[in-house]
């Protein structure tokens, strides 16, 4: 059975599902079987704007700082892997050997808050250990973009 997902709101203990008809249609197509229903807080995934800040500001400036500190990174992919190893891993236990392995998380699965924390950790690390500054995201980006269009 394929996963069926719906977004909704709970108000005063009552669940209202957005696009209820689509959800109901998906349920009628599902096979008869036992299922598990879970309700959890909905988080939006990280936005293209957040990834733009990561790849256009955080990674390039941290790359410069890393190389100034003696690293010899030659590609942005290497910088990406370096930061993911430090700040975006999940520990998995091998029950047979007791070994704890670290697996990199996929940034495409980051929620908006995860992306913000990830960028902040990189910025703090660069500031503390490499004495370099990565600027905050521009909170007026959309306003600045609109100003450029009207000129």
Average pLDDT, integer, range 11-25 = 86
Q: What is residue 111's predicted lDDT score, i.e. its pLDDT?
A: 85
Confidence category of residue 74, pLDDT binned at 50, 70, 90? very high
Query: What is the rounded CA–CA span in Å between residue 6 and residue 19?
Result: 8
Q: Per-residue DSSP letters for 59-108? A: HHHHHHHHHHTT----SHHHHHHHHHHHHSEEEEE-TTT--EEEEEPPGG
**All structural domains of the chain with their residue ranges:** 1-42, 48-145
- Mean pLDDT is highest, among 5-14, 20-29, 74-83, for 74-83
Q: What is residue 144's predicted lDDT score, i.e. its pLDDT?
A: 55
Determine if the pTM surpasses 0.75. Answer: no
Higher per-residue confidence, 117 vs 107: 117
């Amino acid at each position: 059975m394929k996963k069926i997902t719906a977004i909704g709101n709970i108000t005063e203990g009552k669940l209202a599902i957005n696009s209820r008809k689509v959800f109901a249609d998906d349920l009628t197509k599902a096979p008869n079987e036992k299922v598990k229903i879970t309700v959890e807080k909905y988080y939006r995934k990280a936005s293209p704007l957040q990834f733009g800040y990561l790849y256009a500001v955080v990674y390039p400036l941290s790359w410069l700082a890393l190389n100034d500190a003696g690293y010899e990174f030659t590609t942005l992919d290497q910088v990406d892997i370096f930061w993911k190893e430090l700040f975006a891993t999940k520990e998995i236990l091998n029950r047979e050997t007791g070994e704890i392995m670290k697996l990199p998380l996929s940034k495409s699965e980051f929620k908006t808050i995860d992306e913000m924390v990830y960028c902040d950790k990189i910025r703090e690390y660069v500031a503390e250990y490499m004495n370099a500054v990565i600027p905050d995201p521009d909170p007026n980006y959309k306003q600045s973009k609109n100003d450029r269009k009207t000129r």
